[in-house]
Structure 1
Amino acid sequence: MRGYSGIIPKQDESGETSKKGLDITKDGPPRYRRGLYLAADVGRQWDPQLARIYYEQMVHKGNCHTQAVCAVATHLPARIHVILKEDRAYELRDLEGRPISKKDAKALIQREYTVPEEIRQRTRGHKKRRRRKEGYIRSQIRGLVTALQASRFA
């Protein structure tokens, strides 16, 4: 099911080397991928096991929200497969695998796996900073070009 979903990393292997950290394949149906993404975004707020994956991606790996949710989404097809295969209801579990109530699950997530705001700020807005920096560099280059042209004609 993971391969069908298209949310598995691309593979680039040549000889004895393999690259890690590549984009997802996006081979599967877009609606299915979108559904997994949305389910992962909600699931990380209610399921302690999914919240831990999200937390580790954000805090320890420094990924942005979207990358962290995609990492959570990669775990959902296996869960869906087991639920359908065994014909049972989805059950919230703690980190040791014991069943847990919704209230206890939410409390555990709030206590252990809430991403601090400073980390959210750190992983947010990289494009804005890059654009600002690029804009600054362009303005400096324009200033230099103007100064060179002025000195050439003076």
Structure 2
Amino acid sequence: MPGIGKTLAPVFVASILNPERFATLEAFRGFTGMIPGKSESGLTEGKGGKMTKAGPTSLRRALYIAADVSRQWDPQMAKFYYDHMVHKGNQHIKATCAVATKMASRILQVLKEDRPYEIRDTDGTVVSKQKAREIILEKWRVTDDVRKRLRRKK
């Protein structure tokens, strides 16, 4: 899986242990702590808050690093990142955390099904690593103008 190599794979295996212990993908995403928390009080309900940060810190760190690499080598992840940056106006860190959450689901699914991960284009076609990179650079590259516009002013 793009973004997961010899260094990060043991972190995922050690954190997950048995993939069957998570009944749903949502349960695993909640375990990672990469999901936004909710704030409810009386009649108000706030969504999209800060990350819950539940679960192991090492798992969140590994997911973030893997997601940052994955968005550069997996067209589906690149499109997801692109949508968050360009269409939703999220900054790099928030968009990468969204990719990490999506990636967590994929990691668990691959482990549950005990199958190799296949890199696919956004239409579902299996592609090589090199072809995937070409697709990303052609279609899903976030321009420097967008990055500059979204950069937080201090």
TM bucket (normalised to shorter chain) is: 0.7 to 0.9
Moved more, 92-101 or 15-24: 15-24
Higher Rg of the two aligned structures: 1
Matched, 1:71 2:65: no
Paired residues for 1:101-112 under 5 Å:
101-112=128-139
How far is the alpha carbon of 1:17 from its aligned partner?
4.5
Partners of 2:44 and 2:124 lie apart in 1 by 36
Q: CA deviation at 1:114?
A: 0.4
Task: Tell me which residue corresponds to 1:48.
Answer: 75
C-alpha displacement of 1:104: 1.1
Q: Which runs of 5+ in 2 are unaligned?
A: 1-27
Structure 2 counterpart of 1:91: 118
Distance 2:102 2:138 in 1: 23
3-state DSSP of counterpart to 1:75: helix
How far, CA to CA, are the matches of 1:79 and 1:101 in structure 2? Answer: 18
| Greater RCO, 1 or 2 (C-alpha within 8 Å, sep 6+) | 2
1:79 CA displacement = 0.4
Give the match for residue 7 of structure 1. 34
Partner Cα distance (1:16, 1:89) in 2: 47
TM-score (norm 2): 0.78
Is the Cα–Cα contact under 8 Å of residues 82 and 142 in structure 2 kept in the other structure? yes
Query: 1-side partners of 2:146 and 2:41: how far apart?
Result: 36
Residues paired across the two proteins, number: 127
Task: Give the secondary structure class of the aligned counterpart of 2:77.
Answer: helix
Please give the alpha-carbon distance, in whole angstroms, between the structure 2 residues aligned to 1:78 and 1:48.
16
The amino acid across from 1:118 in the alignment is: D
Name the residue aligned to 1:81: 108
**What is the aligned-residue RMSD (CA, Å)?**
1.3
TM-score, normalised to structure 1, is 0.78
Change (3 A) 1:18 1:126: same
Correspondence for 1:20: 47
Structure having the larger proportion of residues in helix: 1
8 Å Cα contact 2:38-2:48 kept in structure 1: no
Task: Rate the CA distance shift 1:15–1:86 in 2: closer, same or farther, 3 A.
Answer: same
Partner letter of residue 149 of structure 2?
A: R
Bigger mean CA offset, 10-19 vs 37-46: 10-19
